[in-house]
Amino acid sequence: MTEAVVSFVIERLGEFIIQDAKFLFGVSEKVEFAQTELQLMQGFLKDADVRQQDDEMVRVWVAQIRKAAYDLEDVIEIFILRVATKKQGGMKNVLKRFGCVLKEGVDLHKIGSQIENVTTQLSNLRSSLQTYNIKEIRNSRGAISLYERQQQVRRTYSHIIERDVVGLENSAEELVRHLVKKEFSHRIVSIWGMGGLGKTTLAKQIYRHNKVRRHFGCFVWVCISQQCQVRSVWEEILIKLISATTVQREEIAKQKDNEIAKRIYLLQQKSRCLVVLDDIWSIEAWESLKAAFPLYGEETESRILLTTRNKEVALHSNGFIHQPHPLNNDESWELFEKIAIFGREGITLEVSTTGI
């Protein structure tokens, strides 16, 4: 029962992130954190739902989760009622709706901290799982959870290129210069900024840049994302670095973590490699990954390009930090024209000022 409630709220938050929150600085990220907390909890709820009949403590635990899920839904619902009721489609209306955020005095900060409070509650509830000995019930073999599905959707691939990119030339050039610099330079270049700012898009521009292609001898792109599985990230890096055959892959799968980390480390010391770590969410993730990278001591020409929405990660990794700027009015207009007008034959768009 609680599992069903939580599933519903997760879906609801997902829709909110896609349709509404992405225009509202800072909020979508918080909603995503909350959503992840619920997703991490989901697998345990089946067990808890069954056990709550006999165990008072578990019953209270489950009730608290249900309440937190409802609280989250309430915050979102209130927000949508106040801001997004004028939803009729069209660019004009989208802009009007978000203009209301200012007009109606909706306090984004307040919404953000309400969401944060619930997320902290959820996270505390999750830490008490072990106390009650609640077990995770995984989906049947082959079936993947909503969380895993979302991870797949979010995965970034270096070969998928955005067609309509604007305003990134200067930043790309600057970062390329850092990466290919011969004299002393940082071994890590971090691109830091809020979700949706264009970090991955910029990293792709750099990864495919002519000067970068000519300078480095091997290239690896890995998408880290929210749930960082160190072992599988390392395996993926090693497989890509050596273009592993099936036999080599089987060998790698049998190796110990420290052996894999050492191999990656030595390969980067020997050759000139560029490794992109896309979307590192936490310092812990970076701390656990970094054993495989030659960051200090002996000279190496290999470089790491990482993207993160967490400023602490960028600072902690101790490299050159770049924060992309949001598109300015001209760039936004250029992008809008590229997407909405060009390449759509037979459509004439009448664009007028929105008056917000």
Ligand X SMILES: Nc1ncnc2c1ncn2[C@@H]1O[C@H](COP(=O)(O)OP(=O)(O)O)[C@@H](O)[C@H]1O
CB 144, min distance to ligand X, A? 23
With CB under 5 to 8 Å by kind, the binding choice for 74 among ligand X, Mg ion, none is none
Q: Which residues contact 274 (CB under 8 A, 6 or more apart)?
A: 179, 207, 212, 216, 218, 219, 220, 302, 303, 304, 305
Size of the site for ligand X (CB under 6 A): 16
Interaction with Mg ion in 238-297: which residues (CB under 5 A)?
279
Closest to ligand X by CB, 235 vs 278, is 278
Interaction with ligand X in 109-168: which residues (CB under 6 A)?
162, 164-168
Q: Two tokens at 289? A: 């990954």
Binding mask 162-201 for ligand X (x = CB under 6 A): x-xxxxx------------------------x-xxxxxxx
Q: Which residue is listed with tokens 């019930």?
A: 137
Cα angle 270, 272, 276; round to 5 = 120
d(CA 174, CA 191): 12
Find the largest Cα–Cα distance for the chain.
68
Going by C-alpha positions, the residue among 49, 17, 35 that lies closest to residue 122 is 35
200 interacts with Mg ion by CB under 5 A: yes
CB 254, min distance to ligand X, A? 35
CB 131, min distance to ligand X, A? 36
d(CA 70, CA 123): 15
Residue 301: strand, helix, or coil: coil
With CB under 5 to 8 Å by kind, the binding choice for 119 among ligand X, Mg ion, none is none
CB 40, min distance to ligand X, A? 21
Binding mask 290-329 for ligand X (x = CB under 6 A): -----------------x----------------------
Q: Two tokens at 229? A: 């599985």
| Residue type present at position 237 | I
Q: Can you give the binding site for ligand X, defined by CB under 6 A?
A: 162, 164-168, 193, 195-201, 307, 335
